[in-house]
């Protein structure tokens, strides 16, 4: 039950800001009929929609027989992260990505959002034997990805990633320089 509560809190937390902006924008637009206000409403609606689509995909249950396309993963992550001023690039030679690795890409994308509060660039490289996530931005937060961290709405994604990696018998190593964080996932 704690996991479900943390998950719901996480999704709601990410949706509050764009929905508040939409509500306030609609009220202001009704009073002023301002075209700039209408554009702000459209931007907030697009951000809320991208968050919902991303979270739905992130926590959907996919069977082992399911494969993501590279384009689909790129789109889910790019649209979600762009609302937080983060550019995303998925680098892989694979056109069809097994669901278990697609989920790891999505988990890492969500973690990038938390590591780069002021925006930046996220690059995830996926090869047969390893996944590398590189985050570049200013005022980066220190990654705290371990199984001992308290389960809160901010860490639910990290715990989900660690659970997936345990099932796949993979290890995660994170390193940080001033404005750069690299997360490497390899088979044990």
pLDDT in tens, 32-48: 777 777 777 777 778 88
pLDDT reported for residue 18: 65
Please tell me the least confidently modeled range out of 70-84, 110-124, 162-176: 162-176
pTM above 0.85, yes or no: no
98 Cβ contact list (under 8 Å, min separation 6): 64, 66, 67, 68
pLDDT reported for residue 176: 87
- Segment 106-121 shows an average pLDDT of 91
Pairing of strands 67-69, 96-98: antiparallel
Pairing of strands 120-126, 86-92: parallel
Domain ranges in the chain are: 2-187
- Residue 158: is its pLDDT beyond 80? no
pLDDT reported for residue 162: 82
Residue 138 DSSP one-character state: S
pLDDT in tens, 30-86: 667 777 777 777 777 788 888 888 888 888 887 878 999 999 999 999 999 998 999
pLDDT reported for residue 26: 67
Helix, strand and coil content of the chain, in percent to the nearest 5, comes to: 50, 25, 25
Class of domain 2-187: alpha beta
Maximum CA pair distance of the chain? Answer: 61
- Segment 147-157 shows an average pLDDT of 63
């Amino acid at each position: 039950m704690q996991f479900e509560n943390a998950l719901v809190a996480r999704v709601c937390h990410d949706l509050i800001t764009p929905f508040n902006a939409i509500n306030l924008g609609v009220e202001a637009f009704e009073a002023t009929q301002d075209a700039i206000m209408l554009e702000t409403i459209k931007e907030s609606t697009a951000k809320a929609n991208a968050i919902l689509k991303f979270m739905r995909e992130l926590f959907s249950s996919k069977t082992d027989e399911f494969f993501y396309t590279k384009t689909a993963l790129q789109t889910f992550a790019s649209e979600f992260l762009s609302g937080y001023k983060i550019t995303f690039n998925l680098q892989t030679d694979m056109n069809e990505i097994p669901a278990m690795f697609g989920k790891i890409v999505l988990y890492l994308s969500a973690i990038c959002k938390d590591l780069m509060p002021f925006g930046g660039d996220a690059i995830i490289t996926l090869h047969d034997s390893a996944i590398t996530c590189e985050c570049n931005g200013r005022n980066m937060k220190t990654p705290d990805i371990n199984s001992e961290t308290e389960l809160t709405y901010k860490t639910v994604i990290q715990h989900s990633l660690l659970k997936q990696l345990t099932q796949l018998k993979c290890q995660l190593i994170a390193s940080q320089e001033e404005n750069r964080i690299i997360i490497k996932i390899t088979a044990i």
